[in-house]
Structure 1
C-alpha cells in the first residue's frame, strides 16, 4: 500500500466523515445549503447517510480494496451531483465540492494503481 494512497484515503475519511456528521446531527449549514439549492430539508439526513456510507467504504477499502473502489466511485458521483446542484441555482460557491471531488478521484486513481480494480 503506497503512502500517497493511505494518506489521501485517510484525508477522504476525515473530510467526508465530518460532512456526514454535520448533516446527521442537524447542523444549520447543510439545511441552509439545501434551502439555497431548492432541496427539501428532509433530504439532508439522506445525503448525510450517503456521505457516511462513502466514509465507511473508504476506510474499509484499506482492508478490502473493492469496497474502497466502489466508495470512491460513489463519492465522485455524489460530488458531481452536489456541484451540479450549485450551478443549477446560479451558485458559484463550488470550491468545497471540487476539493471533495478531487480527493475522491485521487483515492480512486491511486487505489487502482496500488491494487487494481478489485
Structure 2
C-alpha cells in the first residue's frame, strides 16, 4: 500500500502543478471560463498557490504521512469547492475535471491512513 500511496501522490502532485500553471499565468483559456462563473480575477494567484501547496504536501507525505493526509484533505476540500462553484455558476460542463481530481485525491487520503 505504501507504493500505491507514493505513485498516486506523485501523479496527483503533477496534476496539481499542471493545473496551477494556468492560474498563475492567467491563461485566458482557463481564466475566462472561471470568471464567467464568478471567480474574481484576484483569486487566481492564491488558488494556484494553494494547488502547489497541496502538491508539495502530498510529496512531503511520502516521508511524513500526517502531512500527506492533511494535504489530501485540503485537496479534496479545494476541489469540492471547485465543483460547488461550477454548480452555482451554472457550468455543468465544467464539473468533470474538478470532480475527477477530487475523487482521485481521496485515494492518497485513504492510503495515507492505511499506511500511517
TM over 0.5: yes
Contact 1:76 1:101 in 2 (8 A): yes
Measure the CA separation in 2 of the matches of 1:27 and 1:103: 25
More helix by share: 2
- Structure 2: segments with no counterpart, 5+ residues: none
What's the counterpart of residue 98 of structure 1?
99
Quote the RMSD (CA, aligned, Å): 1.2
| Segments of 4+ moved more than 3 angstroms | none
Measure the CA separation in 2 of the matches of 1:61 and 1:21: 22
Contact 1:34 1:44 in 2 (8 A): no
What's the counterpart of residue 31 of structure 1?
31
Q: TM-score, normalised by structure 1?
A: 0.90
Give the aligned length: 115
1:26 Cα offset (Å): 2.2
Q: TM-score, normalised by structure 2?
A: 0.92
Measure the CA separation in 1 of the matches of 2:61 and 2:96: 26
